[in-house]
Structure 1
Amino acid sequence: MKVLVTGATGLLGNNVVRQLVERGDEVTVLVRASSDSRPLAELPVHRVVGDVTDEESVKRAAADVDAIIHTAAHIHIGWTQWETGRRVNVEGSRNVARAARERGVRLVYVSTVDTFGVGTIDEPADETSPREGKPNCCYVATKREAEQAVQQMVAEGLDAVIVNPGFMLGPWDWKPSSGRMLLEVATRAPFATPSGGCSVCDSRDVASGILSAIERGQAGRNYILAGENIRYFELWSLMSEVTGRRPPVFRMRAVAPFIGGTAGDFWTKVSGREPTLNSALVRMSRLTHYYSSQRAIDELGYSPRPPRESITAAWQWFQQHGYVHHVADAA
């Protein structure tokens, strides 16, 4: 099979490309001229220089493929960067979806569990849950809008499946993206954690779920590809154990991060630059992002592994690739 992958230098996209190559598929990747060359350096893939926001380069990359996997996205948890978010996440997704429709091939669109509402340990959210309970920040809003655009095109004849990954950890996190949490825990050994929680999944398992969605997914259907639902305190404690660091001591009360987030918002107004710590991120960190992957397990054969395996694989990869130059003894 000939497959086009967007976002091929990112954590998920790179795992997808590697699994496609391993099973013998012909892979085309759409990469920006400024993209990091390391993730694809040794891989036998056809590179097309372009951008999802450029419809012509998307069409050129999709000219001779049998399926498209769209993982590229602009991820920003905050109140700014709306223009970039809409251009990449919404218009870029429309460009990719149009290319798939014109070619008459299946599209697997990668969204996020954050387009759904939140669940609890006893009642995790699923694909039928109301889409409420999340702050309407740039990332959440534009990914929801992109899903709506894809679903509209499905109604017009597009063959597309939407997958919604949870919080991913694993190897090949070149940027790094979500692996920054692991590196932060390993290098700074923070005393306190956010009060919320997340559904931890492995980038390799999500990639396998996406490949299965090409063959087995039902058109127009969402599939949550998540994992074990765990509080950040337990997750960071596990990260500390794997990396040999001092574990966190307590979960932060709501007031402390609220003050930090408010200060971040004030700095944005004063300087025009939004810091990582802002009220949108604070609100997200207090939520329980708990989800059920049962539909994907039943219909796609999705099989998420325990968080410890994902953390260990990510940590070993970071060590092997020079991301851990010095970890101070915080014990």
Structure 2
Amino acid sequence: MRVFVTGATGFVGSAIVRELIGAGHEVRGLARSEAGARALAETGAAVHRGDLQDLESLRQGAAGMDAVIHTAFIHDFSRFKENCEVDRRVIGALADALGSGRPLIVTSGTGLLPSGRLATEDDEVPASAAIPRIASEQAAAEASARGVDVRVVRLPPSVHGDGDHGFVPLLIGLAREKGLSAYIGEGGNVWPAVHRFDAARLYRLVLEKGTAGARFHGVAEDGVPFRRIAEVIGRRLNLPVMSLSGEDVAAHFGWFAHFAGIDNRATGHKTRDALSWRPEEAGLIEDLDRPAYFAT
């Protein structure tokens, strides 16, 4: 298949590009910069220059392709709500370009789902959810209602592996800055997790075997206790590991306090059964407990 990939030079997207090419698919990747374009070309993918703010460039990138995999997102948390609305418009533009009959795979997150119980692929994001990231699934639902073949992949808070620049490296940076590795309360809240290479295989399987309107969970581990993550970081940095509560939580974590305290129990068992997806890579704690995550 001919596949247009947004975020093709990113942490997850670059792994997807290599996975698709390795399976014999033809890839056109979105690149914002000249450096990104060169790196993408070296993988054997065709390069399409553009960015998420230029909807016409996205429509042109999707033109003539058999499918689109959308992984790009503007990771500027100081403008998080605005960037979520950008993603809403991007999904709408890609859906318009594809029309019916050609798959659009949209990226969302398990963190949108209700806490306190094990979330599954059958769970819908509550309409009352106050998290701006709900915009992506709302846009996917709107496109699906128009007859577009939309498939949603929900990724967990930690997609890990070499080159990770997400939540776990942020925690490592906070520990270095504050002089301690922290968790909230007893640290029993959990994050699901997946290795980037396992996630890449999932996107390929969703492309090849997925069905219109379906939701898939890229969850290799249902829930890793946050305290265990903090303990590995503390040991690797030779820093104290401490429980925080009250005002100390905001003082340490800042805007990240919500994510540090989230209890996001989620499963991908239905995804595994439907697509024969079998995660093979290292789990989060094993992967984190390596020098690569702490190189400076």
Same fold (TM over 0.5): yes
Counterparts of 1:296-311 in structure 2, within 5 Å, are 296-304=271-279, 305=281, 306-311=283-288
Does the CA-based 8 Å contact 2:4-2:30 persist in structure 1?
Answer: yes
From 127, 149, 170, give the equivalent of 2:161.
170
Does the CA-based 8 Å contact 1:30-1:48 persist in structure 2?
Answer: yes
Measure the CA separation in 1 of the matches of 2:277 and 2:246: 35
The structural deviation recorded for 1:247 is 6.3
Counterparts of 1:110-121 in structure 2, within 5 Å, are 110-119=107-116
The residue matched to 1:57 in structure 2 has which SS? Answer: helix
Establish whether residue 251 from structure 1 lines up as the match of residue 212 from structure 2: no
Does the CA-based 8 Å contact 1:117-1:130 persist in structure 2?
Answer: no
The structural deviation recorded for 1:39 is 4.8
Counterparts of 1:70-219 in structure 2, within 5 Å, are 70-77=70-77, 80-87=79-86, 89-101=87-99, 104-119=101-116, 123-129=117-123, 131=125, 136=130, 140-141=131-132, 143-166=133-156, 167-173=158-164, 176-181=165-170, 183-184=172-173, 190-194=180-184, 195=187, 196-219=189-212
Measure the CA separation in 1 of the matches of 2:13 and 2:56: 21
Structure 2: gaps of 5 or more residues: none
Compute the TM-score of the two structures, normalised by the length of structure 2: 0.84
Corresponding letter in the other structure for 1:154? S
Does the CA-based 8 Å contact 1:14-1:172 persist in structure 2?
Answer: no
Deviation sequence 1:188-246 (CA, Å, 0-9, x none): 673422444311211111111111001221211111112320121112324556xx433
Measure the CA separation in 2 of the matches of 1:231 and 1:134: 27
Measure the CA separation in 2 of the matches of 1:252 and 1:183: 16
CA RMSD for the aligned pairs?
A: 3.0
Name the residue aligned to 1:50: 50
Corresponding letter in the other structure for 2:82? E
Does the CA-based 8 Å contact 1:193-1:248 persist in structure 2?
Answer: no
Counterparts of 1:56-67 in structure 2, within 5 Å, are 56-67=56-67
C-alpha spacing 1:162/1:28, structure 2 compared with 1 (3 Å): same
Structure 1: gaps of 5 or more residues: 262-275, 326-331
Does the CA-based 8 Å contact 1:8-1:29 persist in structure 2?
Answer: yes
Aligned residues: 288
Name the residue aligned to 2:260: 285
Corresponding letter in the other structure for 1:8? A
Measure the CA separation in 2 of the matches of 1:91 and 1:2: 23
Name the residue aligned to 1:273: none
The structural deviation recorded for 1:114 is 2.0
Does the CA-based 8 Å contact 1:15-1:172 persist in structure 2?
Answer: no
Does the CA-based 8 Å contact 2:12-2:196 persist in structure 1?
Answer: yes
The structural deviation recorded for 1:185 is 7.5
The residue matched to 1:277 in structure 2 has which SS? Answer: helix
Corresponding letter in the other structure for 1:105? R
Does the CA-based 8 Å contact 1:116-1:125 persist in structure 2?
Answer: yes
Deviation sequence 1:35-68 (CA, Å, 0-9, x none): 7457536311111111233232112212232211
Measure the CA separation in 1 of the matches of 2:108 and 2:8: 15
Does the CA-based 8 Å contact 1:169-1:203 persist in structure 2?
Answer: yes
Does the CA-based 8 Å contact 1:170-1:203 persist in structure 2?
Answer: yes
Measure the CA separation in 1 of the matches of 2:232 and 2:288: 8
